[in-house]
Chains A and B, each alone.
Chain A
Amino acid sequence: MTALRVERVSFAYGERQALHDVSFNTASGGFTALLGPNGAGKSTLIALLTRLYDLQQGDIQVAGFSLRSQPREALRRLGVVFQQSTLDLDLSVEQNLRYHAALHGMPRKVANDRIEVELDRQQLSERRKSKVRELNGGHRRRVEIARALLHKPSLLLLDEASAGLDPASRQNLNDHVRSLCNEQGMSVLWTTHLLDEVQASDELIILNRGNLVAQGRADELAAADGSLQQTFARLTRNAVPA
């Protein structure tokens, strides 16, 4: 079963080509890391995956539903944590979750039950009445994950979710998402430019200058060069300067 299928996707900002004919699949129930330096096209791909941008060429399927022909079904199966926080700081944790549930058209009874489950799972039950503004960065990320999981998506997409967190919070977040993946059988696409967030058994997709330059298990890709750092350096030698 395929969680995400990206088929021959190209995208240009006017004259500037951001993605060139990118294709890949990710397996259901696995942790996949999408890696690339700045300017690789990760953000553009995320914008296309979440339908913030319209597809120019190619197609994307989430759990078998095409973003072109069945966008509502596809979005229903996608949970997203954006790089930039999208929480309403002046609302409480619970109000943010309730708002998201309503935007997904969840009946109130179902939403109440799901909020309880996710607050408990993210260990946020005691902070449910706290304004998001009062939470630290790590807790805010947890609220965003709870929110992304509220409608039981097939695929959880995290776009540079660890950005701005201190090293300990970053590690906690990474471990937490991995446990969701292992315990719940959740499919995860983790976008990052940091190699230390990748583990040997992860499925890895590497983008550079809008091209897919490698896909495979991290340890297998690293084998050719001795380490993942060296493989990544070789594949992204001509990266766009930061």
Chain B
Amino acid sequence: MADKLDVKQGTLALMILKTLEVLGPLHGYGVGRRIEETSKGRLTLNYGTLYPALLKLEQEGLITAEWRQSENNRRAKYYALTAAGRRRLVREARDWHRTADLIADFLGPRPEMS
């Protein structure tokens, strides 16, 4: 089994924002599924990690929440990106890329995964 990674605070927020940008309004289950799929199973999110993060973004006004009917007729709480959330995503993504490039240059070629 591949090593599971801990999701860092902030990193998870960025993933949530990106997911909502790509997929549009989505419920918590969908956000979680999407993040796990994108990570190719390297990340698992339990509820206790996901939902506080969603609530925090909501409190900061970066996303909004609303109860709706889902595609298969279930009631679910849908989260959607706000304008502020969109701006935050752009800025955070840019910062992240810069940091990642810098660290990559710094550490040199990628070691073989064991």
B partners with A: no
State the B residues within 8 Å of A (CB).
none
State the A residues within 8 Å of B (CB).
none
